[in-house]
Amino acid sequence: MQQKRNIQIIEWEDLDKRKFYSFGVFMTMTIRATVYPATLIRTRLQVQKGKSLYSGTFDAFFKILRTEGVRGLYRGFMVNTLTLISGQAYITTYELVRKYVSDYTSDNMLKSLVAGGSASLVAQSITVPIDVVSQQLMMQGFHGGEQLTRFRLAVPQVDAGAAGKLQSKRMFGHQTRDIVSQIFAMDGLRGFYRGYVASLLTYIPNSAVWWPFYHFYAEQLSRLAPSDCPHLVLQAIAGPLAAATASTVTNPMDVVRARVQVEGRSSVIETFKQLIAEEGAWGMTKGLSARIISSTPTAIVMVVGYETLKKLSLRPELVDSRHW
C-alpha cells in the first residue's frame, strides 16, 4: 500500500495544455480506430431480435468480414471520429472538476467519482447526436430481415455485391446527409438527442462504478503482487478488470440505449419492458462480450496511456522535479 501512496499525481495546473491536447487527440484517435469494429458489432447484436442473424460476437465478426469486407467493420467510423471533441471535453471537465473538488476533499477516490460523473454528463451531451447518426450508418448492410422493418429511418441498404457500383453514386457524405436530413425532417433537433436519457443512465453510472472497482482491484492486486512489482503493471491489470465489471453492471441500460437510438423509440421504460417480454433476462446481456472487448484496451489507455500523456505534457520547468 505504501507504493500506491507514493505515486505522484499530475494535476491540471502542472500541464502544458498545448502538448496535452495534441497528444490527447492522437491517443484517442488511435484507440477509437482499434476498438471501432467491436463497437459496431456490439450495436448490431443489441439491435437484432434474438439471434436471427448473428449468434454471437465472433459469428458477427466473421459474417460481416465475409459479406461486407473490412469496410463493413468501419461503417460510420468517419462520423464517429467527431466524438474526439467529446473525448477532449471529457478530459477537460474531469481535470477541472477534480481540481475544484480538491478544495473540499483530499480523497482521490471521491474526487475521481465526482469528476468522472460530471465529465460523462458533458461528454454525452456532445456524443449522443454523433451516436444517433453513426449508429444508422453502422446498420448499413445489416440484413436482419424483420428487424429492418422496425428501424424508423428508411436508410438505403448497401450489400457487398452492390457496394462497388454504388460507391461512385452514394459516397459517405451522401449517406450521412440523407440520414441527417431524415432525422431532422421527422423530429427536428430533438431527433438528434434520441436516447439522451438512456445514454446518461448508462455512462454516468458506468463512470461511477468504474472508479470504485478500479481502486478495489488495485488494492487487492497490490496485496498479492511481489513488493518489487511496478505500480503501473498493477494499474494496467486493475483498469480492464474494472472496465469489465462496469460493463457487466451497466450493459442492460446500454442495450436499451442502442435500441432507443437506432429504432427511434421515445420511452426507455417501454423499450426495457418490450426487450424483457421478447427475449427475457438473456436479452440484457446482448453485446456484452463485444463491449468488454472494446472496453479493455480503452481501460488500459485510460490508466496507463493517460498518465503517460500527462507525463509527456508536464510543463518543462517541472520535469526535473518529478521522479517516477
Residues in contact with 106: Cβ distance below 8 Å, sequence separation at least 6, in sequence order: none
User: pLDDT above 90 covers what percent of the chain?
Assistant: 6
Residue 171 per-residue DSSP state: -
Reported as a single tens digit per residue, the pLDDT across 73-129 is: 998 888 888 878 887 888 889 888 988 888 888 877 788 788 888 888 998 888 888
> Is residue 311 classed exposed, middle or buried when 0-12, 13-18 and 19+ CB atoms within 10 A define those classes?
middle
Give the count of alpha carbons within 13 A of 305, CB side only. Answer: 18
State the pLDDT confidence band at 65, using cuts at 50, 70 and 90: very high
> Cβ(174)–Cβ(190) under 8 Å?
no
- Torsions phi, psi of 314, nearest 5? -60, 135
DSSP 54-106: -SSHHHHHHHHHHHHHHHHTTTTHHHHTTHHHHHHHHHHHHHHHHHHHTTT--
pLDDT at residue 266, rounded to an integer: 66
Angstrom CA distances, 311 to 11, 87, 101, stand at 10, 19, 22
Is the pTM above the cut of 0.75?
A: no
CATH topology of domain 2-316: Mitochondrial carrier fold (1.50.40)
Q: In which residue are the cell numbers 488500459 written?
A: 300
User: 171-205 as b/e, with b when 16 or more CB fall inside 10 Å?
Assistant: eeeebbebbbebbeeeeeeebbbbbbebbbbbbbb
pLDDT higher than 50, residue 48: yes
> Cβ(278)–Cβ(49) under 8 Å?
yes
Q: What are the residue boundaries of the structural domains of the chain, listed by start?
A: 2-316
Reported as a single tens digit per residue, the pLDDT across 116-174 is: 888 889 988 888 888 888 888 888 766 543 443 344 444 444 444 444 444 434 445 67
Residues in contact with 3: Cβ distance below 8 Å, sequence separation at least 6, in sequence order: 222, 227, 231
pLDDT at residue 245, rounded to an integer: 92
pLDDT at residue 159, rounded to an integer: 44
Reported as a single tens digit per residue, the pLDDT across 259-313 is: 887 776 668 888 888 888 888 888 888 888 888 887 887 788 777 777 677 777 7
Q: Choose between 165 and 69: higher pLDDT.
A: 69
pLDDT at residue 164, rounded to an integer: 43
Reported as a single tens digit per residue, the pLDDT across 187-223 is: 888 888 887 888 888 888 887 778 778 878 988 888 8
pLDDT at residue 321, rounded to an integer: 58
